[in-house]
């Protein structure tokens, strides 16, 4: 039973390796495919970075605004100035 299972796993592994090799050969042989995949990857990374930075910046601004409302003397004034500068530049 284990021998047959092992043989089936070996067959499956061989098939997957062949399919992967065929895909790699196709990609390496086709320059247009390389450019297309890299273009999609670059656009996806750029959009992801933009969205990520926007979300993190928004969270930081919200946290800073809440710290200001706590009225901590030195930190509150400093953060209030930072929030004012950011809000002024957003308009």
Q: Name the domain count of the chain.
A: 1
Give the SS3 label for residue 53: helix
Report the percent of the chain where pLDDT is more than 90. Answer: 23
Q: Which domain holds residue 57?
A: 2-90
| pLDDT given at position 26 | 72
Query: Closest by alpha carbon to 89, among 67, 57, 63?
Result: 57
Which pLDDT tens digit goes with each residue over 25-47? 777 777 787 888 889 999 999 99
pTM here is 0.49
Q: Could you tell me where the DSSP H helices lie in 1-91?
A: 2-29, 31-69, 73-90
Q: Are 70 and 76 in contact (CB under 8 A)?
A: yes
88: its two tokens: 């002024």
* CA-based max dimension of the chain: 75
């Amino acid at each position: 039973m284990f021998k047959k299972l092992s043989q089936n796993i070996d067959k499956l592994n061989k098939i997957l390796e062949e399919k992967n090799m065929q895909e790699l050969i196709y990609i390496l042989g086709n320059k247009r495919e390389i450019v297309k995949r890299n273009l999609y990857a670059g656009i996806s990374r750029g959009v992801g970075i933009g969205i990520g930075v926007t979300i993190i910046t928004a969270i930081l601004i919200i946290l800073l605004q809440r710290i200001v409302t706590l009225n901590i003397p030195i930190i509150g004034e400093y953060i209030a100035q930072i929030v004012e500068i950011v809000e002024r530049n957003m308009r």
